[in-house]
Amino acid sequence: MSLLRVSNLTVETSLDGKTLVDDVSFSIEKGESVGIVGESGSGKSLSALSILSLLPNGVRKRSGTVEFQGQEIAAENLQNIRGNRISMVYQDPMTSLNPMMKIGRQIEEVLEAHDLGKDSARTLAALESVRIPEPEKCANSYPHEFSGGMRQRVMIAIALLLKPDLLIADEPTTALDVTIQRQILNLVNEQKRANNASILWISHDLGVVAEMVDKVIVMYAGRIVEVGTVAEIFENPRHPYTVGLIGSLIKRKHQQKMISIPGTPPKPWTVTGQCGFADRCSRVLPNCTQQKPELVELGRQSFACFNPFEGGLI
């Protein structure tokens, strides 16, 4: 039994039913780290937010189920799972902390919400675990008194407070400088190991994903186009989109033309009855514009493509 299983998830705009995420299914095992990579508008964040029913206003789930330890996540058990068994860290640590509330209080609030009472020793231990110097002083400060990296540490402390089974990290280092990013990546890895937690890591940065996860899900225009282990995705990509992305990163000569993908990604709802990548693809076949390719499993890799690369090209 998988720790988390998302089946046939479809997300749409509430107002006019435009498809944003189209029939996405994936699973996460206990202790496994999974990454979702994609560009803005690919549906990676919406897929992650759907897990905990945190979709923003104006967007709703059309169909699909999310099962946690074999049990469907629904309104009745959501409060027992959210923040407790599954927690989240967001991109911008400034907007996810309350600017009017001291940090210690914000941590205690989480404990209180889960009926664990006011426990200042636990609060300080949480701050200490993410290596914040002088935890007492930190607990007594407001978010604006800290740098972005420190605030993100606080967010991670809150997310890991109740030792969740799954941590969903939505671009947690995108707003940070590289050296701070390095500290946060190391910290998350360390905490993951200490708690044997699973991680769902959402990012557009393939380099970060390659370091953080075991399995990569590549999303494009609202659909999953390829799934595989890090080694397979990076050394043996099959979908032309993945090949283009990775090619531009690793196959380049100084000041020479980089491998690029012409054009821009389409809006997911404009793609009907064809492959979303067909218009930008160099390997397009007549079939590609007539039907949607389904995700086909081949060994430990899956891809949705009628004319995949044979592999080993990069």
Partner 1 sequence: MALKLEVTNVSKRYVSKSKDRTIQALSDITFAVEEGKILGIVGESGCGKSTLSRIIAGLESPDTGTVQVTGKPHPVISKYVLKNRQRTVQLVFQDPYSSLNPRQPIYKAIDEVVAIYQPALTGSERDERVSDLLGRVGISRDMSNRYAHQFSGGQRQRICIARSLAANPEILLLDEPVSALDVSVRADIINLLLELKSQFNLTYIFVSHDLEIVKHVSDDIMVMNAGKIVEKGSWNEVMENPQDQYTKTLIEAMPKLSRRE
Binding mask 198-237 for partner 1 (x = CB under 8 A): ------xxxxx-xx------------------x---x---
Nearer to partner 1, 107 or 246 (CB): 246
Strand extents, DSSP E, the chain: 4-13, 19-28, 33-37, 59-68, 71-72, 86-89, 166-170, 198-203, 215-220, 223-229, 296-298, 301-303
Neighbouring C-beta atoms of residue 69, cutoff 10 Å: 15
* CA angle, residues 136, 138, 141, in degrees to nearest 5: 115
Selected from 15, 254, 310, 312, the binder of partner 1 by CB under 8 A is 254
At closest approach, how far in Å is the CB of 264 from partner 1? 4
At closest approach, how far in Å is the CB of 307 from partner 1? Answer: 19
Total residues at the site for partner 1 (CB under 8 A)?
Answer: 37
Transcribe 255-273 into DSSP letters.
TSPPP---S-PPPGGG--S
Could you tell me the CA-to-CA distances from 142 to 106, 127, 133, 175, 178 in Å, in that order? 10, 14, 15, 20, 25
Beta carbon of residue 171, minimum distance to partner 1 (angstroms, whole number) = 13
Note whether 252 binds partner 1 by CB under 8 A. yes
Min dist CB 279 to partner 1, Å, is 13
Using CB under 8 A as the binding rule, whether residue 245 contacts partner 1 is answered as: yes
Spatial contact of 309 and 298, defined as CB atoms under 8 Å apart: no
- Binding string, residues 152-191; x marks residues near partner 1 by CB under 8 A: -------------------------xxxxxx--x---x--
Interface with partner 1 by CB under 8 A: which range of 7-15, 113-121, 161-169, 257-265? 257-265
Q: How far apart are the first and last CA of the chain?
A: 35
- Of 307, 301, 263, 302, nearest to 289 by C-alpha is 307
For residue 37, the cross-strand partners are 203, 218
**Of residues 118 and 252, the one with the C-beta less far from partner 1:** 252
Among 40, 117, 272, 273, binds partner 1 (CB under 8 A): 40
255 lines the binding site for partner 1 (CB under 8 A):
yes
Question: Are 295 and 27 within 8 A, CB to CB?
Answer: no
Binding mask 51-90 for partner 1 (x = CB under 8 A): ----------------------------------------
**Residue 25 structure tokens:** 């299914």
Of the pair 75, 178, the CB lying nearest partner 1 is at: 178
In whole angstroms, what is the distance from residue 175 CA to residue 17 CA?
31
Q: Distance between CA atoms of 301 and 297, rounded to whole angstroms?
A: 6
> Judged by CB under 8 A, which stretch of 121-129, 130-138, 259-267, 285-293 contacts partner 1?
259-267
Residues that bind partner 1 (CB under 8 A): 39-40, 177-182, 185, 189, 204-208, 210-211, 230, 234, 241, 244-246, 248-250, 252, 254-255, 257-262, 264-265
